[in-house]
Amino acid sequence: MRNFDQSLPMLLYRALNALMPEFRAIFRQFGLTERQWRVLRVLWEEDGKPLLALAERTLIPAPSLIGVVDRLRKGGLVERRRSATDRRVVQVWLTDGGRALQAEVTPLVDRAYAAFDGFMDPEEWRALTAMMDKIASRANGAGDPLAHKVGDEK
Amino acid sequence: MRNFDQSLPMLLYRALNALMPEFRAIFRQFGLTERQWRVLRVLWEEDGKPLLALAERTLIPAPSLIGVVDRLRKGGLVERRRSATDRRVVQVWLTDGGRALQAEVTPLVDRAYAAFDGFMDPEEWRALTAMMDKIASRANGAGDPLAHKVGDEK
DNA sequence: GTCTAATTATTAAGATATTAACAAAAAAAC
DNA sequence: GTTTTTTTGTTAATATCTTAATAATTAGAC
């Protein structure tokens, strides 16, 4: 039986556990959850994204995303619209309120991130990014947020 | 606004998303969820652990652990007992069935881990471990699974 | 053009995360 | 020894994850 605490999953989980509460505290000031912020974060960069694209980019599983978007909608931050060209597609658009939030949240988040810049030197960051990418692109295509795809071999 | 996809949290989340489905598929063969396995994994190494110690070691938040342990108990894999010396403490003990499961699950899990050994060379693993530990031990003590502790400054 | 397969979104069910609040027991202070 | 504080476990409420199954469209094959 291998070492549990030093296994790759536990290493990653522990790092995230140390990392995220600080950011969540920021989101909470604006009544946002971490996932809600992630959706907004992507829309601020590219508004009107289809749900599936949003799921991939935010790493939020599609079935969960439905609820996240709906709560954002109830909060008046986004709207849902069917695509005119492909009626299967649901696009998520920011409202004025959702757009306005960017200017408030972003500075705080950026400042929190900045605290990490000096934490490791550029070479370490490069190595870390490369290793994470390597791990993420390994695995037989599993791990994308489209859970219902995995194991579709019939 | 910084790069979202290359942010530390997203790097870690993506790696985990690629990593875990493979392991979960193994656990599922035995009717176990990932968290249930983590609890068993720790008990196989040290039986009779108190709930709080179990929460820290498995990185499962204490309120969630209650449910995880209870489902394991209903499945006949563990038992709960009050400590005789400190009646606040609830210890979790393996049943015979829970103990027997180790011999079945461990080989499969070890084999899956082994597939990663050759994936990065020893020096990369060392560097990765060091960086994750560094991140985990950074942050003001936040991130431990005892959520109600965070921000207890009154 | 019609039938079939693939894509996009959604619902459902059980398990877990996150935060806050609370009860019981033990430890520390007085 | 009683009061206060800390520790350990638990419940509650809301949000999300994970997996499987299903509806609505669209794309492809015939």
Q: How many CB atoms lie within 10 A of CB A13?
A: 21
Tell me chain A's radius of gyration from C-alpha atoms.
18
Question: Which CATH number fits the domain that encloses residue A63?
Answer: 1.10.10.10
Is residue B150 domain-resident? no
Is residue A30 domain-resident? no
Q: Which amino acid is at B102?
A: Q
pLDDT confidence of residue A139:
55
Taking CA–CA distances from A8, the nearest residue in chain B reads B129
Contact B139 A22 (CB under 8 A): yes
Is residue B145 domain-resident? no
Asked if residues B60 and B92 have their Cβ atoms less than 8 Å apart, the reply is: no
**Residue listed under structure tokens 């990014």:** A129
**Residue listed under structure tokens 């875990």:** B20
Is residue B38 domain-resident? yes
Q: How many CB atoms lie within 10 A of CB B48?
A: 13
How many domains would you assign to chain B? 1
Is residue A11 domain-resident? no
pLDDT above 60 for B2: yes
> What tens digit of pLDDT does each residue of B52-102 get?
999 999 999 999 999 999 999 999 999 999 999 999 999 999 999 999 999
Is residue B23 domain-resident? yes
Asked if residues A39 and A60 have their Cβ atoms less than 8 Å apart, the reply is: yes
> What tens digit of pLDDT does each residue of A56-70 get?
999 999 999 999 999
> What tens digit of pLDDT does each residue of A129-144 get?
999 999 998 754 333 3
Higher pLDDT: A154 or B10? It is: B10
Strands (E), B69-135: 78-82, 90-94
What's the gap between Cα B136 and its chain centre?
A: 15
B11: left (phi over 0), alpha (psi -120 to 50) or beta: alpha
Contact A132 B11 (CB under 8 A): yes
Among candidate residues B79, B111, B114, the one with its CA nearest the CA of residue B97: B79
Which residues constitute the domain of residue B82? 1-109
Is residue B152 domain-resident? no
Is residue B103 domain-resident? yes
> What tens digit of pLDDT does each residue of B114-143 get?
888 788 888 989 999 999 999 998 754 333
Between A11, A18, A136, which is nearest B139 by CB? A18
- Average pLDDT score over chain A: 88
- Which whole number is the average pLDDT over A105-121? 89
Contact A4 B42 (CB under 8 A): yes
> What is d(CA A93, CA A40) in angstroms, rounded to the nearest whole number?
10
> What tens digit of pLDDT does each residue of B75-88 get?
999 999 999 999 99
> What is d(CA A41, CA B4) in angstroms, rounded to the nearest whole number?
8
